[in-house]
Structures are given as structure tokens and as C-alpha cells.
Chain A
Amino acid sequence: MKKRGRGVSTVIYSLTITNLPNPCSANIQMKEDGSVVLQTGACDIGQGSNTVLGQMVAESLGIPFDTVTVYSADTERTPFDTGSVSSRLTFTAGRAVLAAVEEVKEILFATVARKLQVKAERLAIGEGVIYYLYDPEKVMTIADAAFEAHFVDRRLPMGKGEYYPQNIPVDEFGQGEPSDTYYYLATIAEVEVDTETGVVDVLKMYAAVDCGRAINPMMVEGQIQGGAMQAMGWALREDMYPLCTQVNGVHPEFNPDFRPDNFGDYAIATAKDIPEIYATWVEGIEPEGPFGAKAVGEITANSGAAAIVNAIYDATGVRIYDLPATPEKILRGIKEEQAAGSSSGNQPR
């Protein structure tokens, strides 16, 4: 018989590291034609930090995205970054980028203020121009301003930015504040369990992240979809020691001979295995974040497994406490449930 169930789970996650110093950096140089080179240690491992940081530069300097070149994660040519860990780059490297942008703007504004005979603090930047706030007729293109700064004012429009997340030591009990700020995810899973075979089919997954401002919504959606799929994989099938007999959910011996050494045995999901994934996000604006952004990376994979296991419980009454929730474990649970039910006279669920 096939039984359906739904489960929900939520997770809170940190996005900076406060117990260790972990600097982020950015160097920005605006060239004489107004195009920009950003050098940052932030490492894009596919999560899209190059794109997001480039977008932040373009947005805050009012220039087209395709005039921004990003060089990243080359210890020979880029300044220091701690690493693509703790889902921190949008927030921390973004803060470093915005700090560098401020220095560039200060130099450009000084040039434009001299040229237009206005006060620099009454200038604003956007849409390719720097303009006087009280008279939109008084403008100078960013390219002209960059050229003037280079060759008339002899100040290169370059900026150096850095960001150190707060360093908050833990107290005598090891308690403290692990992150500058936090972000959140909720997942709902809908499953169908075959009670004769114990096989679980995940039909649908809904995941919603509070990621702060979604700097690049398409990539946010992609991260959520990928995280949901990974969560499903380790909820149901991925196991480092699949052939070991477990006792009370504990492997008696971690025999390296039993470790899967290929993707077939480890069985990561293919396109055929994925459920319908509905990804959405909530923009809970973070005042400290660049443009109000927080993060999206790791959290996307963190609650799916709990939602699936809760859905299995909803469908069958079987609680799985050690992942993956293999058909063997579920069948064993169903049998125990039935035995318990018949001995106490209750109807099995």
C-alpha cells in the first residue's frame, strides 16, 4: 500500500564567523574610461560570488554590469580572503566591496565638485552620471569624471575595502554569539511511502529562505533547488558506510573497505530522481548587510532531510533517527509499529 505524508522543518543558520578573525577584502580601480576592475580574495565556487560582487559594484557606482571585471581568489594577484565558508561571502565580501566603492566615489565626487563648483557632499551617483542633488542639470558622466580625476586632478579613482566580522569571545561555558546575523529556511516535503517495500518517493519539496535582499534572484532560486536535491539525497540514500550493519543507529566499525568509492554506490540523485521543487525567498532586509543582503548558500541543504523524515512519520508513523532513511529501516519500523499495535490492541497506523 502506498501512503502519503507531509513534513515540515525549519532551520536557523549563521552567516559570519565571530570566534575567529576572518577578514574579507576588495580592491577597486576605476579606469580612465569609467570601467572598473574589482580584485577580491572571495572565491567563487559556483555559488556566484563573482556575479553578486560585480553587481554590487555596478549598482553602487551606477555603471553597467558588463563594464565591471572581477578578478577573484588568486593569492598572487588578489588581496586576502578567509574563504568560501559559512555562507559568508555575499555579506562579508559585499561589505568589503562597498567600503572600497566609497573610496572611489570620494575621489570622483571631489573631481566633479571642483568641475561643477558645488559641494561634494551634495552629489549623487547613478545611471552613468554624477549629479548635483539640487539641480539635475548639473551633471558629469562617470567616464568624464574618471578621466578628469586621472589626468587633471591626478588622483586615481581607486579604493581599498576590508571587512572584519565582529570578534565575540565565548564565555566560560562556551556560549556566545556565533554570527553577526542569522538567516532562516523552512522546507515542506510531500512523500509517498510504499509500505510493502519501504521505498520512499519524494513528490514535492517547497523551500523558502529568508536571505535578506536577493541580489541575484535567479541564482538564489538555483541555490535553493540544488540544496533541496542534496537534502533529499542524504535523507534517503547517501551513506558513507552503506554495507555496515548498524546497531541502534551506530556503525560498529567504520571499515574503509565498505566505503563507496564511486557515485553509483554512493548513489547521488540523478535528474530522474528529483521531486518537484518549489523555491521561494523572503527578503527580510538586514540593515548591516550590503543592500540588505544576508546569505543563501549552505542553509538550502540543511532542513530538507528533517522535512522528509517528518513526512515519512506522517505517512507511516515510523520515526527515523539515523540517515539515510533506507527502505530497510522503514520496513523494520513499520513491522515494529505493527507488532506494538497488535500487542496493545491498537489499530496500526
Chain B
Amino acid sequence: MFTMSRKNICFCLNGEDIEATVDDSLTLLDFLREKLHVTSAKKSCKQGDCGACTVLLNGKAVNACLILAASVNRKEVLTAEGLGTPGNLHPVQKAFVELGASQCGYCTPGFIMAAKALLDKNPNPTYEEVKDGLSGNLCRCTGYTKPIEAVLSAAKEMREAGK
């Protein structure tokens, strides 16, 4: 007979420790949205096509819809909520706002997280490298032009702040 098994997990979400017992079939995305009510990662295609649910898992951009919650045990998860606050935006968030890189906004948190992962690894990306870094995220509104410009602008600002 099929029985659902449950696992105890402990992980770090946006700098806070989370302890929970989760079904081992529960995705990280459903766990974040439905159980923890952390909703910046969006549930769109549910099969890894669109990137709207992109979060950082130990610094790497992943689709939260394809990650099981049980597998983030002892790992670090970062969502857009942990990146900046309305009064203190991360440079990537600030650039998206200032350059109008968001229209309906559904893909935006995913783009922000993908951009953060890219810039952590490569603080001085070329235009083509930014395109590569954002290629896992679909957007229907912007034509990608302004998001790419926003990431380049944020990269410049972060480099100058780091000097």
C-alpha cells in the first residue's frame, strides 16, 4: 500500500532558521507559498519551463517547482523577500524599478533572483552573458530588453559600491 512518508527538515530561509516536517512529495515552491506564505516565488508552469519560481539554493538559481522541500535540509534558501525591503532595495531590485523592467510583474521576482545569482558569480557580465544568465526566465511583457539593461545597470552600481 502507498504510504506518504514525512521528513523533518531544518534549513535557513532568508537568514532565518526554519524547522518543519514535510511530506516528501511536497515541492519547495508549494512549501514556501502554501505553508510558509513566502510568496515572491510564483507558481506558473510547475514544470521548470518559465523560471517564475526561481530562488537561490546555496547561492545557485534553481526552479523551486522542481526541488523537493525535503531536499533543502541543512541548506540555505534565498527568495526576493530576503534580498531587500521596500525601504532598502537590493541594487538589482532598484534597477528594475528605475528602468521600468517590470510590467505585469509575474516573472519579476524570478528575474531578480536569477540576476542576483549571475552577478554574485560574475560581477562584470557582458550583454551576452546577461542574456545567458536570464535565459531560464520567461517574460511575455518586456521583450527582455529592459530587464537586461537593468541587470547591467545594477552590476555597474554594485561594482562601484564595492570599490
Contacts and interface: CB of A to CB of B under 8 A. Distances in A.
A in complex with B = yes
Nearest to A205: B143
Contacts of A277: 143, 145
Given A46-B104, A222-B142, A227-B143, A262 B47 contact: yes
Interface stretch (A264-272, A287-295, A311-319): A264-272
A263 B47 CA distance: 9
| Residue from the set A45, A263, A277 with the largest chain B CB neighbour count within 10 Å | A263
B144 A222 contact: no
B140 A218 contact: no
Interface string B31-65: 00000000000000101011000000000000000
Question: Could you tell me the dominant secondary structure of chain B's interface residues?
Answer: loop
B99 interface: yes
B20 interface: no
A223 B145 CA distance: 11
Nearest to A227: B143
A226 B141 contact: yes
A214 interface: no
A160 to B, nearest CB: 29
B131 A229 contact: no
Contact of A271 (B103, B134, B140): B134
Contacts of A227: 143
Contacts of A268: 138, 140
A48 B103 contact: yes
Interface in A100-125: none
A14 interface: no
Contacts of B139: 226
Given A272-B131, A274-B145, A222 B140 contact: no
Nearest to A233: B140
Interface residues of A, number: 25
B84 interface: no
Interface residues of B, number: 29
Interface in A29-65: 45-48
Interface in A219-247: 219, 221-223, 225-230
A222 B146 contact: yes
Contacts of B142: 222, 225-226, 229
A315 B94 CA distance: 43
Interface string A249-268: 00000000000001110001
Contacts of B100: 218-219, 221-222
A47 B103 contact: yes
Given A222-B100, A227-B143, A263 B135 contact: no
A223 B146 CA distance: 10
A269 B138 CA distance: 7
Nearest to A279: B145
A16 B12 CA distance: 52
A126 B136 CA distance: 47
Interface of A: 45-48, 218-219, 221-223, 225-230, 262-264, 268-272, 274, 277
26 contacts: A46-B102, A46-B103, A46-B104, A46-B141, A47-B103, A48-B103, A221-B100, A222-B103, A222-B142, A222-B146, A223-B103, A226-B103, A227-B143, A262-B47, A262-B49, A263-B45, A263-B49, A263-B138, A268-B138, A270-B135, A270-B138, A271-B130, A271-B147, A271-B148, A274-B144, A274-B145
Interface of B: 45, 47, 49-50, 99-105, 130-132, 134-148
List 7 tightest A-B contacts by C-beta distance, closest first: A46-B104, A229-B143, A225-B143, A46-B103, A263-B49, A226-B143, A271-B144
